Chains A and B, each alone.
Chain A
Amino acid sequence: KNEVEQSPQNLTAQEGEFITINCSYSVGISALHWLQQHPGGGIVSLFMLSSGKKKHGRLIATINIQEKHSSLHITASHPRDSAVYICAVSSSDKLIFGTGTRLQVFP
């Protein structure tokens, strides 16, 4: 079993829909990261959080330390949000990654 599990693996949405991507982990962590990777592109850090909730524009990330679970929400989704979203946890100076959620948003 992977130490970081994401769901769903693939997600399609119509423009404007509210999107949720989930991440569960099984190890002790100091922080959790959400990353974005566009097709053929580099990897960009969206959020790093260790408790509570963070918001940046249309993106919201939450974490529940007791339940070892995090969610990434995208409000009013847009085709430019189409990308792979990766959850990663910081554990012992290293990151452990989920396998990513591929999101496609259609106009």
Chain B
Amino acid sequence: DAGITQSPRHKVTETGTPVTLRCHQTENHRYMYWYRQDPGHGLRLIHYSYGVKDTDKGEVSDGYSVSRSKTEDFLLTLESATSSQTSVYFCAISTQDTQYFGPGTRLTVL
């Protein structure tokens, strides 16, 4: 699993509140990704990072921001959570041979 952890694993929050999800890796991989998974849509890329302080947007980046101040941590922030952001969020890293996914965070926005 390339030492990927996500926290929290489950969160329930209210509309309008900020939320930060954390992805942590232990193997110094350069590329890290945040995806969301929704029924009927599959996995969709929110943001990704190709190094410390180097990030770029994915296809569903509106309403999300990211930060990567250390190689091992990639944070995803929902600036003002909305019900449409209720989803399962996966972090991933890529190597030359494969991608490794974190265990996921189930977020519910009421």
| Interface stretch of the complex, out of B18-26, B62-70, B77-85, B96-104 | B96-104
Q: Beyond A43-B90, A93-B31, A94-B58, is A100–B42 a contact (Cβ under 8 Å)?
A: yes
**Which residues on A sit within 8 Å (CB–CB) of B98?**
33, 45, 48
The reply on A44 being an interface residue by CB < 8 A is yes
The reply on A25 being an interface residue by CB < 8 A is no
The reply on A75 being an interface residue by CB < 8 A is no
Most buried by B among A33, A45, A86: A45
Tell me the complex Cα distance, A11–B91, Å.
28
- Secondary structure of the B side of the interface? strand
Give A1 Cβ to nearest chain B Cβ, in Å: 14
| Interface residues in A20-74 (C-beta closer than 8 Å to B) | 33, 35, 42-45, 48
Q: Does B44 lie within 8 Å of A93, measured CB to CB?
A: no
Q: Does A86 lie within 8 Å of B43, measured CB to CB?
A: yes
Q: Does A97 lie within 8 Å of B48, measured CB to CB?
A: no
Q: Does B45 lie within 8 Å of A95, measured CB to CB?
A: yes
Q: Does A44 lie within 8 Å of B101, measured CB to CB?
A: yes
Q: Beyond A43-B90, A48-B97, is A97–B102 a contact (Cβ under 8 Å)?
A: no
Tell me the complex Cα distance, A43–B98, Å.
12
Q: Which residues of A contact B (CB under 8 A)?
A: 33, 35, 42-45, 48, 86, 88, 93-95, 97-100
Q: Which residues of B contact A (CB under 8 A)?
A: 31, 33, 40-45, 48, 50, 58, 90, 92, 94, 97-104
Further 5 A-B residue pairs, CB within 8 A, beyond A42-B101, A45-B99, A95-B45: A35-B99, A48-B97, A86-B43, A95-B33, A97-B43
